[in-house]
Amino acid sequence: MRAPRSDAEVPAFLTELGLPGLADVHVHFHPDRLMARIWEFFDDGEARYGTPWPIRYRTSTQERLDTLAALGVHDVPALTYAHKPGMVAALDAWCADFAREHPQVLRCGTLYPEPGMTELTAAAVADGLRLVKVHVTVSDLAPDDDLLGGSWELLAAARVPVVIHAGTGPRVAGRPIGHAGPEAVGRLLATHPDLTLVVAHLGMPEYDAFADLVERYPRVHLDTTMAGTDFMERLAPVPASFVSRLGELRERVVLGSDFPNIPYPYAHQLEALHRWGLGDEWLRDVLWHNGRRLLGLDPVAPT
């Protein structure tokens, strides 16, 4: 089976695998003003990351939704995240409205350690929250901060998955590591072992340390976001020994892409996973079955 080299080849690739679509758990949509600021950040990629980072899908909201539909992402996790106090309430309201306006969008939310966070999380869970995003490095937050304790308890009880960017990579020049790394996540899980966590980017570059947490805690997963792509192999290469470990962790690996903020075609993420040579069954689980199960969606047909 030949991997897709362009987005136009993705539907045929999925058909050959016998899949009705892609269960991508790491897709970003933000309020327009916030999205524009994020894109401005990546415009300065050479200074921040040592390499240009052109946004491949710098289009309107509707065009991005249409692109995802054409690729086979039928249920869209519109992830956003707070990076300072006072943002969560507004972002949660935006997420709720965005999901109501677009039936294919899942109701998402975010967290930030501030007073009242438990109450905001409870309201979001009651409103049908399906997925949460927390960005440890951008938000400079400690995952085990006491102000998040009530939220973690609620999310664990409700089995709401949390996509957490907690690895120290890709590194931004001059930015301290802060609370990033597997140690803080390990402390969080020691207190809340039933949390459904999805470690973004396979935990790059601390790949093995985060995989250790997957093996220790039954509800922890890894997402593939940007891992193995030509672009990221220059910044945080995946060790060959870790690829075989991903084969062993097959049921706990889910597809992530970071769409739209990627500097290459979406198809290249699928190509990168294919060239690891872990087999068609591994691809079927990672591209579809695992993510659908994680999100509580129909494993057969897209909604």
Note down pLDDT in tens along the chain; length 303 residues: 899 999 999 999 999 999 999 999 999 999 999 999 999 999 999 999 999 999 999 999 999 999 999 999 999 999 999 999 999 999 999 999 999 999 999 999 999 999 999 999 999 999 999 999 999 999 999 999 999 999 999 999 999 999 999 999 998 887 878 899 999 999 999 999 999 999 999 999 999 999 999 999 999 999 999 999 999 999 999 999 999 999 999 999 999 999 999 999 999 999 999 999 999 999 999 999 999 999 999 887 665
**Predicted pLDDT at 171:** 86
Largest CA distance in the chain: 52
**Predicted pLDDT at 148:** 98
Cα–Cα distance, 270 to 211 (Å, whole number): 21
The helix (run of H) or strand (run of E) holding residue 109 is strand 108-110
User: What secondary structure letter does DSSP report for 18?
Assistant: T
Amino acid code (one letter) for 259: F
**Predicted pLDDT at 176:** 77
Cα–Cα distance, 155 to 229 (Å, whole number): 32
Task: Evaluate if pTM is beyond 0.85.
Answer: yes
The helix (run of H) or strand (run of E) holding residue 133 is strand 131-135
Are the beta carbons of 189 and 197 closer than 8 angstroms?
yes
